[in-house]
Amino acid sequence: METIKFDQDIRVMYVEATSFPDGALAAHQKLHSYFPFTTVRRYFGLSRPESGIIRYKAAAEIMESGEAEKYGLQTIVLKKGDYHALTLRDYMKDIPSIQRTFSQLIALPDIDPEGYCVEQYIGQNDMLCMVRIAD
């Protein structure tokens, strides 16, 4: 396990999945129809329980003013700070590994109770699984 530090808040715009986990892929497909994959922009998957169910958001870093509004997308901020992180290589070959990895991360005693489970996509095949460490 490693610690990743976000030195600044990261503003993201998102497409919320209609359900989780089944709607996650469709949410990413819709997001990428607006913002095709590029190495210049960071892409995320965000999840946490809200009102008793897990809400999932496919998100992209905001690069220019007005991007979210142009597509009618909502925004949130990933808070700066330290995050516990584990890297998954070729995650598509073992989708259940994502659940196992986040189960391990959320069991840690020092995580931010208001934070998200954060997937940051690294290239086309790898992801960082992260949870924010409480201040």
The percentage of residues in the chain with a pLDDT greater than 90, rounded to a whole number, is: 90
pLDDT for res 81: 97
Q: What is the reported pTM?
A: 0.93
Give the pLDDT confidence of 8-51 residue by residue, as tens digits: 999 999 999 999 989 999 999 999 999 999 889 999 999 999 98
* Rounded alpha-carbon distances, angstroms, from residue 118 to 34, 79, 102, 104, 105: 21, 11, 9, 13, 11
Given a cut of 90, whether residue 83 has pLDDT beyond it is yes
pLDDT for res 27: 97
Q: Which domains, and CATH codes, for the chain?
A: 2-132 (3.20.80.10)
Q: Where does residue 72 fall: left (phi above 0), alpha (psi -120 to 50 degrees), or beta otherwise?
A: left
Give the pLDDT confidence of 63-72 residue by residue, as tens digits: 999 999 999 9
Given a cut of 90, whether residue 123 has pLDDT beyond it is no
CB 65 within 8 A of CB 55: no
For the record, the structure tokens of 42 come out as 């960071």
| 83 vs 92, more confident | 83
What average pLDDT is seen over the chain?
95
CB 105 within 8 A of CB 130: yes
Instruction: Supply the DSSP symbol for 92.
Output: G
pLDDT for res 104: 96
pLDDT for res 39: 87
pLDDT for res 9: 97
Instruction: Measure CA 124 to chain center.
Output: 15
* Beta strand ranges found along the chain (DSSP E): 2-6, 10-16, 43-50, 53-61, 74-78, 81-88, 117-122, 126-132
pLDDT for res 15: 98
